Amino acid sequence: MFSWLGRTASSCLSPLSQYARMNKDDEEGLGGEDDALLWSKDLEKHSHGEFSFAVVQANAVLEDQSQVETGRHATFIGVYDGHGGPDTSRYISDHLFGHLLRLAREKGAISEDVLRTAFSETENGFLTLVRRAYAIRPVIAATGSCCLVGVIWKKTLYVANVGDSRAVMGYLDRSNKIVAEQLTRDHNASMEDVRKELRNLHPEDSEIVVMKQGVWRIKGIIQVSRSIGDAYLKRPEFALDPSFPRFHLPEPLRQPVLRADPTIVTRDLQPNDKFLILHLMGIARRLVIWAMEKAAKMRQMPYSEIKKLDQGVRRHVHDDITIVVVFIDHEMLDSKISTPELSVRGFVDTVGPSNFNFP
């Protein structure tokens, strides 16, 4: 999955100059215009500038969920990278923002504690859903999702992350050149510091991280060390039997091996902070097309052939991809002009009013 602010600093910058010069004819030349599985929205206003939004489906059922909620003085962005099915990412999309909005109104402000509590309530709510459904549909215990959220409020950016989606801020350095700064930390067993953290937390478990098929995995199953959901790796009551070989653990859990608490970055926006990724008409759509062009090249097949593949089959070439690009307009930051309240869900054509009214 591609995160709402980009995958890595290097991958964000690599298409920058190319796509800054692209016009509509160039985009159609790439073939994105008639891709039935590609959805995009350009350009909508938010409280601090404009944003563009694009999603492409690869799985038989779209596992990515995403949303942008704009209020008069605040903006919320969420991208939820589901795995094992869409249950968890859909639940997050339906509940996390509501928890955040209620808590912010109760406290009178956005804060790191408010974000942590919103994540916790979302996790607890989904595990309650799993408990109710487990007897009839036990595989729901194996569904989970990464969760990346950004909130801009009163000239401050809050980024909360669970999993390995990434947030990148684009800013101008002293020589007036664009610099991309990754704001998030990956919760992924491929990272040495994550493996060390897991071994320190589970000293009695020699197989807490296992190299399997050339990839580090927790218990030989999953790469991310934090997620919403994945109940079978958090509570023994949700263990799956050998009829689910992909998710079966040979020994009962002694303690959770995955966590749901986010790492949070708070950044006071500065005049040189210009965009989250970059600002350009249609850039989210173009970045998605660029990502698929890259996937096609790796598979040694033209993108025109990828577009002919059905959902599910297409997953062999690339994953679901979601990108939201947010442009920061400092004149709007300093003004008291309010913007319309708007709610946009990724891959859904309907755009409705938002009930986003922070203190």
- Segment 13-39 shows an average pLDDT of 49
Residue 289 CB neighbour total at 10 angstroms: 27
Q: How many CB atoms lie within 10 A of CB 230?
A: 29
- Pair 58, 37: CB distance under 8 Å: yes
Instruction: For residue 224, list its beta bridge partners.
Output: 188
Domain count within the chain: 1
For the cut 60, the answer to whether the pLDDT of residue 27 exceeds it is no
Q: Is the pLDDT of residue 285 over 90?
A: no
Q: For 12, which DSSP code?
A: H
CATH number at residue 153: 3.60.40.10
Neighbours of 63 (CB within 10 A): 25
Which tokens hold the place of 116?
Answer: 């942590």
- Report d(CA 219, CA 77) in Å as an integer: 32
**Distance separating alpha carbons of residues 39 and 336, to the nearest angstrom:** 33
pLDDT 10s digits, 106-161: 999 999 999 999 999 999 999 999 999 999 999 999 999 999 999 999 889 999 99
More confidently predicted of 281 and 267:
267
Answer yes or no: is 230 within a domain: no
Instruction: Indicate whether 22 pLDDT > 70.
Output: no
- Kindly state whether residue 220 falls inside one of the protein's structural domains: no
Q: How confident is the model at residue 6 (pLDDT cuts 50, 70, 90)?
A: very low
Residue 211 domain flag: no
Query: Is the pLDDT score of 286 beyond 70?
Result: no
DSSP for 248-259 reads: --SS--SS-SSB
The model's confidence at residue 188, banded by pLDDT at 50, 70 and 90, is very high
Query: What pLDDT, on a 0 to 100 scale, did the predictor assign at position 160?
Result: 95
236 belongs to a structural domain: no
Least confident of 63-67, 231-235, 240-244, 353-357: 353-357
- In angstroms, the CA 206 to CA 225 distance is 16
Q: Residue 24's pLDDT is what?
A: 43
Q: Is residue 235 a part of any domain in this protein?
A: no
The per-residue pLDDT for range 54-86, each reduced to its tens digit, is 887 777 788 889 999 988 888 999 999 999 999
Give the H or E element holding residue 49: strand 49-56
pLDDT of residue 335: 64
Tell me the mean pLDDT in the region 196-215.
95
256 in a structural domain: no
- The pLDDT of residue 144: 98
**Quick check: 192 pLDDT over 80?**
yes
Q: Specify the pLDDT at position 7.
A: 31
Residues recorded for the chain: 359
The boundaries of the domain holding residue 132 are 9-186+261-352
* pLDDT-derived band at 317, boundaries 50, 70, 90: low
What pLDDT does 29 receive?
A: 45
What tokens appear for 60 in the block?
Answer: 């038989």
* 176-190, 223-237, 306-320, range with greatest mean pLDDT: 223-237
Better-scored residue on pLDDT, 53 or 273: 273
How much is the mean pLDDT over the chain? 81
Return the H-helix or E-strand segment holding 328.
strand 321-328
CA distance 188 to 207: 16
